Amino acid sequence: MLDSTQTYRTIVPFVGPLAWTTLRVVGYALAGTVAATGGLIITFVALQVQRIRTAPDQIPWAGVERYKIFPKLRATIASLARDREHLEAAWERYTSTNKPFTLPNLLWPLTILPPSEATWLISQPEHVLSVNKTQDDVMGLAHLGPGPTLESVHDFSVITRDLTRQIPACTMEMFEEVKHSFDAHFGDPEKGSDWQDIKLMKIVESSVLDVASRLVVGAPLCRSEQYRKAVSAYITINGFTALFVQAFVPPTLSSLAFGALKWPVFYSRWRAARLFYPEVECRVAALRDARYEKEALQERENDLMQWIIESAAAKGDPAEFDPKILAHKLLLLNLFTIATLYLTLSTTLLTLLSSSDAADILATLRGEATEILPRLAQDPTATRKMHAHDSLIRETMRYEPMSDTGLMREVLSPSGITTPSGTFLPQGSHVGVSVRQMQRSGGKSADDYQPFRFVPSTASSELEAEATKPPTAVQVSESHLSFGMGRHVCPGRFFAVNTLKLMLGYMVLTWKFEPLKEKAKFIQIAGASIGSEKTVVRIRRRVAGGRESGDVVEKTSGESQVTG
């Protein structure tokens, strides 16, 4: 055995070189990190400067501070957190005189047209003002989309044609999932009917994930932890990759960047798709075999997966009928449904619970849900009579839309385009409207939150009722732009509002909510409004036992059931 002196003598000669090597590795790592960060910052700034140049010259910019160096660049960087502030100030200043202004934004400077030009904006053809191009850029669809072509990715006819028509047929299935997922995620069942604190955003996210996925992949997969994790990872990685390339990579190099960065997205997509891919493959094969057998065709499923498969088959292009592409198309739709329903439901709840009338609003909703939800099994179209819920959804989207700006288009026309009031928009510039301000500028009470302002009044005659009927949540107009407007209006809005009614109705029937003591905080990120993750809400499960009509009782199987 070596004594301590020997050990010391053996080790000492290695200490110096080892320390030196370690120091060098750390040094290289540090230098690499500094160089990479510096490179990213320089590319980012150069890219922003180039984008600033694409904006129309003669239009004033929002948020710029004169006499400061690089005012537009500074305003662009500040827009990440101060977008709403910029929008409000410029709206006050320019819109009263019907003038456009340019809103700085990290994606691109956005020229905001006055409301009088919104109808002109949406009536321009795609090759002049393009919606698809903005979607492709924000979501990286050309590189990360399912394919087989971009045109195919933008074909949403399955939603417009099949999903909207089949809403009554899907309602009970969706309601079953609402009950299952909200019971599973909302609060700790062990606490019974005691008050408990929940982090609202997290819990709404988990519940919505199951409900939105039920439409796309069905049960039981939508409830599996493996699928939930895989689809969440796919949404996050896809979103970050597309945004990273849009923010840091010049358009000329974006194909190269996507070529390298797409692999984590494809891997995450594969992890989610492989869980339902065999089912898609099996149905594709069945459809191929059964094309000439009427009986087999009659037995086919009636769900989104089947509609997508049949729609692809109808195109007669083998590339469209590839099970892998079909699975990826389903995942893209799952991304749309999860993100939009999560944001809208959480904003609706937070705005409602922040209101000074929260208790009364909840009571009215509960009354309506008690009357309608138990009738769904007999009449799935009964959700159309949930006027209070519909009005609350429309009012929340009006008051606190998912995004402050909308109707976003890129000018594709090589010679640019001039608006009716004479504003010239060059090729490559981006144009849109201020959704939030337009929705809040319809009279004295437009700045107030009145959840039941769109509930039909009880008129004396049918004729009068028809004449005074307020618009519903899915009816878009210049004062209701949260679903967009024109040819690219959201095709999923009928399904979205129906599902939101089921979720809200079930929640108010099943839990008591304590109104918030302070107004809920919303985080503004680049024009999007998202409830704070930290918001804690107090809930209590209503006592089971069917004491009141409409209460939720537990069946012996452990499932919950709404009593009639």
If the CB atoms of residues 63 and 492 are measured against ligand HEM, the closer one turns out to be 492
**Taking the complex as a whole, how short is the minimal distance between the CB of residue 529 and ligand HEM, in angstroms?**
12
- The radius of gyration computed from the CA coordinates of the chain, to the nearest angstrom, equals 27
* Residue 524: C-alpha distances to residues 83, 103, 404, 415 (Å): 8, 15, 10, 35
Residue 79 token pair:
């827009």
Cross-strand pairs, 410: 130, 430
If the CB atoms of residues 136 and 551 are measured against ligand HEM, the closer one turns out to be 136
Quick count: other Cβ atoms within 10 Å of Cβ 68?
Answer: 10
Candidates 159, 326, 353, 411: give the one binding ligand HEM (CB under 6 A).
159
Candidates 221, 352, 407, 516: give the one binding ligand HEM (CB under 6 A).
407
If the CB atoms of residues 72 and 501 are measured against ligand HEM, the closer one turns out to be 501
Distance CA 64, CA 537 (A): 39
Of 60-68, 234-242, 413-421, 480-488, the segment contacting ligand HEM by CB under 6 A is 480-488
Site membership for ligand HEM, residue 484 (CB under 6 A): yes
Candidates 207, 238, 246, 344: give the one binding ligand HEM (CB under 6 A).
344
Residue 92 token pair:
């006050």
Site membership for ligand HEM, residue 528 (CB under 6 A): no
Determine the residue type at 217: V
Q: What is the DSSP string of 398-430?
A: HHS-SBSEEEEEEE--TT-EE-TT--EE-TT-E
The answer to whether 540 and 195 are in contact (CB under 8 A) is yes
Question: x/- string (CB under 6 A) for ligand HEM, residues 101-140?
Answer: ------------------------------x---------
**Taking the complex as a whole, how short is the minimal distance between the CB of residue 339 and ligand HEM, in angstroms?**
8
**Taking the complex as a whole, how short is the minimal distance between the CB of residue 89 and ligand HEM, in angstroms?**
24
* Segment 317 to 336, residues that bind ligand HEM, using CB under 6 A: 333, 336
Site membership for ligand HEM, residue 562 (CB under 6 A): no
The sign one gets for the Cα dihedral 194, 197, 199, 201 is positive
Residue 223: closest CA among 191, 189, 183: 183
If the CB atoms of residues 524 and 561 are measured against ligand HEM, the closer one turns out to be 524
Distance CA 279, CA 284 (A): 9
**Taking the complex as a whole, how short is the minimal distance between the CB of residue 540 and ligand HEM, in angstroms?**
28
Angle 182-186-192 (CA atoms, 0-180°, nearest 5)? 115
Candidates 153, 490, 539, 552: give the one binding ligand HEM (CB under 6 A).
490
Across 136-148, b (16+ Cβ under 10 Å) vs e yields bbebbbbbbbbbb
If the CB atoms of residues 134 and 419 are measured against ligand HEM, the closer one turns out to be 134
Residue 154: closest CA among 123, 124, 131, 127: 131
Of 220-228, 316-324, 360-368, 491-499, the segment contacting ligand HEM by CB under 6 A is 491-499
Question: x/- string (CB under 6 A) for ligand HEM, residues 48-77?
Answer: ------------------------------
490 is annotated as contributing to ligand binding? yes
Q: Collapse the DSSP code of 230 into the 3-class scheme (helix H, G, I; strand E, B; otherwise coil) and give the result.
A: helix
Q: Is 63 left (phi over 0), alpha (psi -120 to 50) or beta?
A: left
**Taking the complex as a whole, how short is the minimal distance between the CB of residue 345 and ligand HEM, in angstroms?**
8
Binding site residues, ligand HEM, CB under 6 A:
131, 156, 159, 333, 336-337, 340-341, 344, 402, 406-407, 482-485, 488-493, 495-496
Q: Which residues are annotated as a binding site for heme?
A: 490
Task: Please state the residue numbers annotated as binding site.
Answer: 490
